[in-house]
């Protein structure tokens, strides 16, 4: 075998190795993309489910708005709708940011920037979970009483009873929120670890 043949053989081997490395990297990226999308889809299902419920709630209050026949009840109904709408917008912002993450089609730098935006949106939402939830709970309590029992809590229900309902609701909401946040943290952290592994 002369020098030219050796060079040609070496070039062919180098090309094969390069193609194999490229194929391996592509497979790794696609697997990472699939795993990150699976984690995000679990979060999206919860977010979309919550948003659907809130949207249905807003529509229900709008449909029954004339039933809220006093100023405090009307105020509670409108406040409940505003809080629900804020929660929907914040959730939608998180979903939009998270759905831009694409390990395969985007550069590493852009993927990291997209994930950072997703994390930022999530952490903003996390700060408002409890305050928004408690505000919604307090504002919706009079509305629910009126729409389900035709009772005006501002005139017909003792303050202690109202506080008991809000307190019990707040207790269960806090537990639910803590479980919710723990689950979301786990999914986000696993995506973070996945991206770090791919970048290595």
Contact 165, 141 (CB under 8 A): yes
User: For residue 91, which of 134, 143, 139, 53 has the smallest C-alpha distance?
Assistant: 53
Contact 54, 88 (CB under 8 A): yes
pLDDT of residue 170: 85
Handedness of CA 16, 17, 21, 22 (dihedral sign): negative
User: CA-CA distance, 87 to 193, in Å (whole number)?
Assistant: 28
pLDDT of residue 15: 59
pLDDT per residue, tens digit, the chain (200 aa), is 556 655 565 666 665 656 666 655 666 667 767 777 887 888 888 889 989 999 999 999 999 988 898 899 999 999 999 999 999 999 999 889 888 877 767 777 787 788 888 888 888 888 888 888 889 888 888 898 888 888 888 888 788 888 888 888 888 888 988 888 888 888 888 888 877 776 65
Q: Which residue has tokens 């939009």?
A: 96
pTM to 2 decimal places: 0.78
User: For residue 96, which of 124, 111, 117 has the smallest C-alpha distance?
Assistant: 117
The CB density around residue 112, as the number of other CB atoms within 10 Å, is 16
pLDDT of residue 7: 56
The tokens describing 186, both together, are: 């786990």
Tens of pLDDT, residues 19-71:
666 655 666 667 767 777 887 888 888 889 989 999 999 999 999 988 898 89
User: For residue 95, which of 50, 159, 146, 30 has the smallest C-alpha distance?
Assistant: 50
User: For residue 72, which of 129, 141, 11 has the smallest C-alpha distance?
Assistant: 141
The CB density around residue 140, as the number of other CB atoms within 10 Å, is 22
pLDDT of residue 79: 94
pLDDT of residue 98: 85
């Amino acid at each position: 075998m002369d020098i030219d043949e050796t060079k040609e053989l070496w070039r062919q081997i180098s090309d094969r190795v390069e193609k194999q490395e490229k194929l391996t990297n592509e497979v790794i990226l696609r697997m990472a993309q699939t795993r990150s999308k699976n984690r995000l889809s679990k979060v999206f299902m919860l977010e979309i489910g919550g948003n659907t419920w809130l949207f249905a709630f807003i529509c229900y209050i709008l449909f029954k708005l004339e039933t809220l026949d006093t100023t405090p009840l009307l105020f509670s109904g409108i406040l409940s709708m505003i809080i629900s709408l804020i929660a929907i917008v914040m959730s939608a912002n998180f979903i939009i940011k998270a759905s831009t993450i694409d390990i395969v089609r985007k550069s590493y730098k852009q993927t990291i920037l997209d994930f950072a935006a997703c994390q930022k949106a999530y952490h903003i939402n996390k700060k408002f979970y409890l305050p928004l939830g408690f505000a919604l709970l307090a504002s919706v309590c009079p509305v629910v009483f009126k729409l389900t029992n035709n009772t005006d809590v501002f005139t017909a229900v003792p303050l202690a009873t109202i506080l008991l309902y809000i307190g019990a609701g707040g207790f269960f909401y806090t537990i639910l929120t803590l479980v919710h946040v723990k689950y979301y943290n786990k999914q986000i952290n696993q995506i973070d670890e996945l991206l770090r592994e791919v970048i290595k």
